[in-house]
Structure 1
Amino acid sequence: MNLTLNKSVFTDITLYTEKIKREMHASGSALVIMKDNRIVHEWYSGTHHFEKGARKIDIASQFNVYSTRVTYIGLAIAIALYEGYLKLDHKISNYLFEYDKEILGETTIRHLLTRCTGLKMKNNNKVERVFNAGTDIEGKKPDLLAKILFNVTGRTVNEVLTERVFHPLNWTHTEWVTEGKKTLVCDIHAPKSYPTFRLGSNIGNERNLYVNARELAMWGNLHLNKGLCDGKQILPKEIFDFVTTIQSPETLPKHLPKFGFFWWVKNNEVSCDYNELSSHLPEGSYQILGASGCSCTVIPQLNTVAVRMYNSLCENFDYIKDMERYGKLLISCLKNL
Structure 2
Amino acid sequence: MSEPYQVLNDYVYQVQQEIGVTAAAVYLIQNDVVVNEGYSGRQGADTTFRAVDAQTRFNVASIRKTYLGLAISLLMEDGRILSVDDEIGHYLDEFSETAEGVKLRHLLTHTHGLMERDGQLIREFEPGCGWAYRNTGIRMLTLLVVRLTGQTLSSFLKERVFDPYGLRETGWETDYSEELIYNYYSDPHLWTGAHDSDAGDQSNLFVSTRDLARWGHLHLRKGSLDGRGLIPASVFERVVTRHTPDTVPWDEPRNGFIWWLQHDTPQNQLGERLPDGSYLILGVTGCVCIVAPEYDAVIVRMYNQLSNPEGYNYLDDIRTFGNLAADLLKVGR
Q: Distance in 2 between matches of 1:17 and 1:194?
A: 23
**Secondary structure in 1 matching 2:299:** strand
Q: Distance in 1 between matches of 2:46 and 2:192?
A: 12
Q: With the length of structure 1 as denominator, give the TM-score of the two structures.
A: 0.92
Q: Which residue of 1 aligns with 2:301?
A: 308
Percent identity over the alignment?
A: 34
**CA RMSD, aligned part only?**
2.2
**Secondary structure in 2 matching 1:139:** coil
**Secondary structure in 1 matching 2:274:** coil
Q: Which runs of 5+ in 1 are unaligned?
A: none
Q: How far is the alpha carbon of 1:110 from its aligned partner?
A: 0.6
Q: Which residue of 1 aligns with 2:176?
A: 180
Alignment of 1:103-122 (within 5 A): 103-122=98-117
1:24 maps to amino acid: I
Alignment of 1:270-289 (within 5 A): 271-289=264-282
CA 1:195/1:79 → structure 2, altered by over 3 Å: closer, same or farther? Answer: closer
Q: How far is the alpha carbon of 1:199 from its aligned partner?
A: 2.7
1:240 aligns with 2:230: no
Superposition misfits of 4+ residues, deviation over 4 angstroms: 193-198
Q: Distance in 1 between matches of 2:104 and 2:190?
A: 39
Q: How far is the alpha carbon of 1:336 from its aligned partner?
A: 3.5
Q: Distance in 1 between matches of 2:233 and 2:57?
A: 28
**Secondary structure in 1 matching 2:98:** helix
Q: Distance in 2 between matches of 1:18 and 1:43?
A: 10
Q: How far is the alpha carbon of 1:144 from its aligned partner?
A: 1.3
The one of 291, 296, 312 equivalent to 1:298 is 291
8 Å CA contact retained: 1:30, 1:309: yes
CA 1:177/1:320 → structure 2, altered by over 3 Å: closer, same or farther? Answer: same
Q: Which runs of 5+ in 2 are unaligned?
A: none
**CA offsets 1:195-238 (integer angstroms, 9 cap, x no match):** 99963312112100000000000000000011101111121011
**Secondary structure in 2 matching 1:273:** coil
Alignment of 1:66-105 (within 5 A): 66-86=61-81, 87-99=83-95, 101-105=96-100
**Secondary structure in 2 matching 1:259:** coil
Q: With the length of structure 2 as denominator, give the TM-score of the two structures.
A: 0.93
1:90 maps to amino acid: D
CA 1:198/1:14 → structure 2, altered by over 3 Å: closer, same or farther? Answer: farther
**CA offsets 1:286-336 (integer angstroms, 9 cap, x no match):** 000000000000000000001000001112431110012112210121133
The one of 55, 58, 66 equivalent to 1:63 is 58
The one of 128, 133, 143 equivalent to 1:134 is 128
**Secondary structure in 1 matching 2:93:** coil
